[in-house]
Every structure is written in structure tokens, then in C-alpha cells.
Amino acid sequence: MDVAALRKDFPLFDQGKERMVYLDSACQSLRPRQVIQAMDEYYLLHPACAGRSVHRLATQVSLRLDDARDSVASFLNASSSGEIVFTKNCTESLNLVAKGWKFNPGDVIVSSAFEHNSNHVPWLELQSALGLKRRFAPATKEGEFDLEGFKKVMDRKVKMVSIVHTNNVNGVTVPLKEIVGIAHDNGALVNVDGAQSAPHMPVDVRRLDVDFFSLSAHKMLGPSGMGVLYGKLELLEKLRPLTSGGGSVLETTYDSVKYLPVPERFEAGLLNYAGIIGTGAAVEYLKKVGMENVAEHERKLNRIMSSGLKDLPKLRMLRPLDPDRRGSIFSFNIDGMRSHDVAMILDEMAKVMVRSGNHCAHPYFDSIGVEGCARASSYIYNDEDDAKEFVEAVKKVASTFAD
């Protein structure tokens, strides 16, 4: 992968600007010019409504939305573009499944020990409102998913396994194919939070046999305010819309409504047309780079960070210690320092930008007795110099401020 060539596509790295090291892509990625231009074309050349008006500008928008839906379907290897629903983010997609599926009191939902709040809070609400039961598959002491522990919490009472694919705390990817097999053997559906996996590795929803899969475009070179829900067509047809109104219905009377077919029935209201077009451009960009190349590049950068800091006194890496198990994420703490202070000092001293805090995964941090962490997360535009500058900056912070 030619990182130097890729960096030229990202305006933040224009020559003449002061060098900075952006290592916060697990929160939000940067966008290449190709995505920005695709969105600008909507506003400049055909700023109209799709699927409503029939004039030439509206027709151009409709065609571009169809192209974007096809691109996302191809990216995930969905059976058809009809299995792709556009939402405003991964959180909305996960809520659409949780609150759109028909559950009964006493139904059991299984999740992992390290879920993001987007795949935790909706189930807490339904636990209270509907009387659902919750079970959690444990994590090992090394911070890995415990497959044997998962088997122990599964039985025929479980109606859905709603689980993160790659967690955003330590970067561990769960054995999803095996999880899906076990869940289906017990008659349960599988709903996947793919916010941190889809940007960083190949995802084949048909090979994995997942029932639902959610992602956010803003973590994978796309615009903010855009998400995707993939669902098997026969399951989407059983799902209730989270919102309803214009654009999602075929016809109404004063006392009845007929909804449009899937996926349009889930896309009520005026859509983020520029965002959808930008999402299509983002996945096309990633397809050209190659997701296997993305994954290997990030592992290489993580090895540089890990080898440079593993023996640093007073630095505590979140497990697992093997960088190949952590994908793009390097999470750590420095003795005697709050994670927010670490992040702010790295920015001020070295223009190295990382995330800090609990990363919307409060229960997991509580379970391991850690009050948050600093998190460096790389992507395709980060080079080896970025990783080395990060190492040197952390060493300087630790030597200057650690207890």
C-alpha cells in the first residue's frame, strides 16, 4: 500500500501545513478529496429531491443514490442492494433492530462484556420497558472474547445475540463466524455492531451469515451523520420502522397507511442525499485500496507502537499485549496521570492527537477496574513516521509527568 500517495488525497496533509499526527480515527476518520468532491457535486450540480420529483435534477439524485446503495451492498457482499438501509449512524441502525424487532417478556438478549453504549443502552431500555433479560459473554483476563464462556450463556431462551465485531477499547475482534453458528444452533438471531470492523478489514456478511450488521460512514472515510444497516431481506421485512412519515409510505388514507417495500420503508423524511453519495464514494475508495491491505498496514503500525513502548516504565498497555490482536488500536495509561491529561499534553507538546476517557464502554472499564485510557488509533493515511513520533511523544510525556 502506497501510503505516501494516499496521503495526498487528504486535505489535512497538504504540503505547507505544519505536520500533525492524527491518531483518532476510531472516533472519526479523515475524508479524502474524492468523498468531499462527490458531496459537493450534489450541492453544486443537482441539489434536488430524490424519489419525489421527476425532473432531470431529481432523476440524477435518484440514480446516484442507487449507485451508492449498490456500492455498499458490494462492499459488504450483501445478496442485493435491497438489504441496505441508510440511517444517520451506527447507533440508529442498532436501535432500529433493537426497537423494531418483536420481542416478548422474558426473551433473553446476549451481548459481550465490552459493548459500546450504542449496543448496550437500547437493551437496557427494553429490559425495563418489555421485561427482556440480559446475559453477557465474558472476556478473558487477556481482554479477548471468551468463546467457551459464550457457549455457557446460550440456550433456547436467547432470541438475539447483539454483539460488537471489533471493540473500540482494545481493538479485539471476536470470532464472529463461530458466534453466529452457535447462536443459530440455539435459534437466535445475530445483530452485529460493525462500527470498528467495517473500516478496517474485509467484511462478508454472507460468509459470516449475520442477520443484521450496522456501521457508521464517518469512521470509514465517509461523511458524518451517515450510517448503514444491512439485514437479510426476509428479516428486514419483519422489522418495524423506527420512524415513519413522508418518503416511507406508498399511500395513506385518513385511517390507514401502506408502507413502501424494504429498504425505503425505513428511510422516512428527506434523506441526507449528499451524505449517501459521499458514503458510496468512501466505500469505492476503500475497495480500491483493498481491505486486506488496510488490515495489514494497521497491524504493522501497531507493532511499531507496541515494540517502542512495551518496556517503558510506568506505561500500562491494555491487554491483549500482542499487537496483531489489536488491529488499529493501541490503548494505554501512564502511572499517575489521567487519560485526558495524557491526550492534552500529547497534543500540546507534539501535535499528536489521540482519544481519551471511557470510549462509551463504561461497564467494561468498571469490570477491569480501570478508569478509562488514552487510545491511539491508526488508519490508511498514517505512516511509519506517525507511529514513531507517537512513540517518542509518549516517552517524553511519561518521563516528564509520570509518578
Per-block mean pLDDT, blocks of 10 residues, the chain (403 long): 95 85 98 98 96 92 97 98 98 98 98 97 96 96 96 98 97 98 98 98 98 98 98 98 94 95 96 98 98 98 97 95 96 97 97 96 92 97 98 97 86
Contacts 24+ apart (CB under 8 A), 335-340: 335/402, 335/403, 336/401, 336/402, 336/403, 337/397, 337/401, 337/402, 337/403, 338/371, 338/372, 339/371, 339/372, 339/373, 339/374, 340/372
Q: Are 262 and 237 in contact (CB under 8 A)?
A: yes
Quote the pLDDT of residue 403. Answer: 80
Domain spans of the chain, in order of start: 3-24+290-401, 46-288
Which CATH number applies to 46-288? 3.40.640.10
Which one from 49, 90, 360, 373 is the annotated catalytic residue?
360
Quote the pLDDT of residue 195. Answer: 98
Quote the pLDDT of residue 285. Answer: 98
- Rounded distance between C-alpha atoms, residue 259 and residue 267, angstroms: 11
Helices (H), 250-290: 273-289
* Residue 87 DSSP one-character state: E
66 bridge partner residues? none
CB atoms within 10 A of CB 56: 9
Q: Are 236 and 85 in contact (CB under 8 A)?
A: yes
The CATH architecture that domain 3-24+290-401 belongs to is Alpha-Beta Complex (3.90)
Domains 3-24+290-401 and 46-288 belong to one CATH topology: no
pTM: 0.97
The reply to whether 360 belongs to the active site is yes
The number of C-alpha atoms within 13 Å of 178 and in the hemisphere containing its C-beta is: 10
Q: Are 393 and 345 in contact (CB under 8 A)?
A: no
- Rounded distance between C-alpha atoms, residue 240 and residue 103, angstroms: 12
Q: Are 69 and 279 in contact (CB under 8 A)?
A: no
